[in-house]
Each structure stands twice: as structure tokens, then as C-alpha cells.
Structure 1
Amino acid sequence: MKKIHVVPVISTAAISVAVLFGGWAIYNQVAVAAPLEEAIADVPGIVNSAKPNMSKEQVTIDVTLSQDANLREIYHSIILNGEDVIGSRELKLDVLNESNKELDDYWYQALFEVAEAMENKSYSDIPLALDAAAKENPAIQATTEMDENNVYITLRSGDAVKFIVLPRTPAQMGVWENA
């Protein structure tokens, strides 16, 4: 019987693993992430974006938006421009806000009623809840929009802006980490 040489076997296995994972990483960058990054760069309202983080279920992108950005249109544009890459995965934008204490306090004041409206699927109550909170601070402008997947809320006060995306499926809501 021949004696198996351990060093060549381990070396061959290590080289094979490195080539396979290296090839997968290059494919992921060139064929998947790069086209999506290009699609994101063409969307008006996005000032800066990080490299997309992709899993089997969702695509997550950190973005910085301009003051006058329309969050619903940005979502729609990214999904439309990147549909070949995104496919059936959920798109999740982590918006880096330029919020302030005034906007945060306003949001927390309206949050209970907004959460209740989301849970009961009475989405038309969301603008009413935001308007009720605005009575105490009329300097804040609140805009709400909705599509088949999310409710988009934009709060503005001077140079500060807070973008909030609430998923419309209650089972996926959990804690709104992007609020």
C-alpha cells in the first residue's frame, strides 16, 4: 500500500477552496453588486450609497438622501433599474438621516397612533396621527406616501429631515429599526 502524503493533500484542498470562494466573490462583485451599484448611482435624490449587502431573502443598501428626496420614488427607481439583480428579494434601504431632537420627539409622539394604524391596516389614519402631532409643532412638515409594500413617511424641519419606511406586512414589522 502506498502512503498518503498529507502536505500535498492539504495544499490541494486549500488551493481548491481559495479558487472556488475567490471565483464566487469575483462573480458576486462583477455580475451582481456592480450593476446594482450603477443602478443606484443613476437614481435622483441619492447623495451617497454603500455597497449593497445581499442575502437570499433581501438586498440591503445604506443610502444618504438629499433634503428634497422622495423616498417612494427612490424605492421604485431602484427596484425598476435593478430588477435583474434584485429579483424576488426584498429591497431594504437603511437611510442615514440628518434628523434632530425636534423631529425625533415629533416622531415618538405620533408613533403609538402610527403603529396602531399599521397593525389595524387603517393606513389613512397615519396622516391624521402625524397632523395631530403637528399641532404642537407647526414648523414640522410631514409627508406620507404608500405603495403595495411600504408606507413612506418624511418629516422635515428646516435643514433636518427624517425618512421612515414602514413595511405593510404586520408579520414582518417587528421593531422598526429604521425609524
Structure 2
Amino acid sequence: MSRIRLVPMLLILLVSLAVFFAGWQVYKRYNLVDPVKTDLQSVSGVQNVDVLVGNPTVIRVKLGPVQDLQTTYDSIAEAVTGSVNAGSTIVIVDNKNKALQQEYENLFPSIMQGVSHGDYKQMITDVEKEATIDGFKSKITMDHHNIYLQLEQGTHYLYDVWNYNPTTTTLQQAQQAQGGATS
């Protein structure tokens, strides 16, 4: 009968775990993080990229001043989709100050009212007019999935991207008009 020695088995277990952990770190660094950073740093307006691997993977993108947030965000999303799993989250980091944050909070109800009523053209007009009156440069654009807001004041800028579903909003409005319930 042979005996299993405890010390050599624990040593083998620890060395194996260390090798597996080191292999995972190398894989993560060279096959996931570095390619995403390289792809994203080639996008115009991107200043810095941090990739936090997890479930979901969080990609923090520091943007400088950009002409069109929608185009920049689409380029970022395309680069991320090609490199990372579909459940990843993109976080846009901007250069806002207190005044921009306050203006954003003031404009937010107008944006949500426009989305809830489905009156997107009026929402864009109202938001841009109100921001201009308050002394801010603004731009709001949309596509089939997102609303993009850019606010600027001097060297500071605030960017925000909201995901929305126009089909659901229209369906909810139709059901409410007919007295139906929504889920």
C-alpha cells in the first residue's frame, strides 16, 4: 500500500494553480485587453482606455472634445463588439464641471418627456434651445438604439448616451391611448 504524501501534493497543487493563474493573466492581457485598447485608441477623440475584465467586462473610454458623439460612439461600439463579448459595458468618461452637470440635470426632464411622448424632433429643438439660452453649446442626435447628448462650455464638455427602444415606447403609447396595460 502506498501512502500519499501531503506536503508534495500541496506543493504540486500550489504550483499548478500558480501556472494556471499566470496563464490566465497572460491570455487576458495579450488576447483581450491589449487588442481592445489598441483598437479603441485608434478611434478619433479617444484619449485613454481602461478595460476591467469581469462579468460583464467594463470598458471605460476617456474622450476628448469630439465633433459628433454619435459617430465616435458607433466607432467605439464597433471596435468593442469585434473584440469583447456582447455583454460588455461601455462607460464614457468626459470632462464636465459643476455648471455642465447642473445644466444636464435641468435638460433631463425635457429629454425624458420627448422620449415618453415620442416627439423626438420637438425634444431636440427644445433641448438645444434651452441649452443655448443658458449659455451652453449643445448637440443632441439619435439613431435606432441611442440618444446622444453633447454639452460644452469653454474647455469642459459632458457626453451622455441613453439606450432607448422606440418600438416599445410607441407600443406603450398606443396601449395607453386605448386603455390597455403595458408590461
TM-score, L = length of structure 2: 0.76
Q: Which of 108, 122, 131 is the aligned partner of 2:128?
A: 131
Q: Which of 89, 94, 101 is the aligned partner of 1:104?
A: 101
**SS of residue in 2 equivalent to 1:7:** helix
**SS of residue in 2 equivalent to 1:64:** strand
1:1-179 aligned within 5 A: 1-50=1-50, 52-57=51-56, 59-95=57-93, 97-119=94-116, 122-131=119-128, 133-134=130-131, 136-137=133-134, 139-169=135-165
Judged with a 3 Å threshold, the aligned counterparts in structure 2 of structure 1 residues 18 and 157 are, in CA distance, closer, same or farther, namely same
How much does 1:148 deviate? 3.1
* Corresponding position of 2:171: none
CA contact 1:46–1:69 (8 Å) conserved in 2: no
CA contact 2:92–2:159 (8 Å) conserved in 1: no
CA distance in structure 2 between the partners assigned to 1:53 and 1:120 by the alignment: 37
CA contact 1:60–1:93 (8 Å) conserved in 2: yes
How much does 1:65 deviate? 1.8
CA distance in structure 1 between the partners assigned to 2:8 and 2:88 by the alignment: 45
CA distance in structure 1 between the partners assigned to 2:2 and 2:154 by the alignment: 79
Root-mean-square deviation (CA), in Å? Answer: 2.5
More helix by percentage: 2
* Corresponding position of 1:177: none
CA distance in structure 1 between the partners assigned to 2:87 and 2:116 by the alignment: 23
- Alignment size in residue pairs: 166
Identical positions, percent:
22
**SS of residue in 2 equivalent to 1:34:** helix
Which runs of at least 4 in structure 1 moved beyond 6 Å after TM superposition?
A: none
CA contact 1:79–1:86 (8 Å) conserved in 2: no
Judged with a 3 Å threshold, the aligned counterparts in structure 2 of structure 1 residues 92 and 121 are, in CA distance, closer, same or farther, namely farther
Q: Which residues of structure 2 form unaligned runs of 5+?
A: 167-183
Judged with a 3 Å threshold, the aligned counterparts in structure 2 of structure 1 residues 25 and 136 are, in CA distance, closer, same or farther, namely same
